[in-house]
Amino acid sequence: MSASKVNVFVIEDDAPTRESLRARIEAHPRLRVGAATGTVAEGLAALAMTRPDVLLTDLGLPDGSGIDVIREALRRHPGLPIMVITVFGNEKRVVGAIQAGAAGYLLKDDPTHEIGLAIELLLAGGSPISPAIARHLIRLFQAPPNATPDAQRETLTARELEVLSLATKGFSYAEIAQLLGLSPNTIASYTKRIYEKLAVGSRSEAIYEASRLGLLENR
């Protein structure tokens, strides 16, 4: 590989997802994956050996938090561009990752971001952020001090939570219909109601918002 390529480190505990990220990154002509690890310990060991050009990290890792990785990576390599890539996260994780120094935050199933372009934006000084995360941060800063908008949200029914829970596991709506013994049109109706209740417009936003509200904690 050309020495001029951008060296990207990836920390992701799910092996298929890690390899998918590797393939998507290396499909970009200017990018290469210098290290792809699955734990905090392995990631920090790789960072101790060399400084990458970019670090991509998940937050939920088997031996710790990606937020700790972000802090330690920046302690060792000040100014290192870091981007979070995760399935979903609650408000504490999102804000914690950004406060720790993450300059980007993408949801793994966000269709609006191509990973190579997101990395290029990060290197150019930008902050790639999934729409669901950006929307939440805007709400967070716009909310009056004593506002409690979440308490006014309609509650998801047990069936709606079941549909959304299966969606977080990566099942398509056709697969969810088959698993629940329902028609695809019925699943589409449930999905529409979920979006309306959570005030979102996509699957990734729905997963993020439900997670932030604690609706998926025991599922």
Pinpoint the residues of the chain covered by CATH 1.10.10.10.
Answer: 149-212
The pLDDT of residue 72 is: 95
**149-212 is classed in which CATH architecture?**
Orthogonal Bundle (1.10)
User: Angle at which helices 66-76 and 40-49 pack, to 10 degrees?
Assistant: 10
Long-range contacts of 24-29 (CB under 8 A, 24+ apart): 24/115, 24/116, 25/115, 25/116, 25/119, 27/116, 28/115, 28/116, 28/119
What is the pLDDT tens value at each position of the chain, 219 positions in all?
445 899 999 999 989 889 999 999 999 999 999 999 999 999 999 999 999 999 999 988 999 999 999 999 999 999 999 999 987 656 677 888 999 999 999 988 776 678 999 999 999 999 999 887 887 777 767 655 554 444 445 688 889 999 998 988 878 889 999 999 999 999 999 998 898 888 777 787 788 788 777 787 655
- Whole-angstrom distance, CA of residue 199 vs CA of residue 102: 26
Nearest to 167 by CA among 198, 202, 214: 202
pLDDT at 217: 66
Which one-letter amino acid corresponds to residue 69?
A: V
- pLDDT at position 111 is 67
Cross-strand bridge partners of residue 107 = 86
What the block records as the tokens of 69 is: 């990785």
Handedness of CA 63, 103, 143, 194 (dihedral sign): negative
Q: CB 11: neighbour CB atoms within 10 A?
A: 27
Q: Quick check: pTM over 0.85?
A: no
Looking at residue 1, its pLDDT comes to 42
Residue 92, Cβ density class (10 Å: 0-12 exposed, 13-18 middle, ≥19 buried): exposed
Taking phi over 0 as left and psi of -120 to 50 as alpha, with beta for the rest, 175 belongs to alpha
Q: If one looks up domain 6-141 in CATH, what number appears?
A: 3.40.50.2300
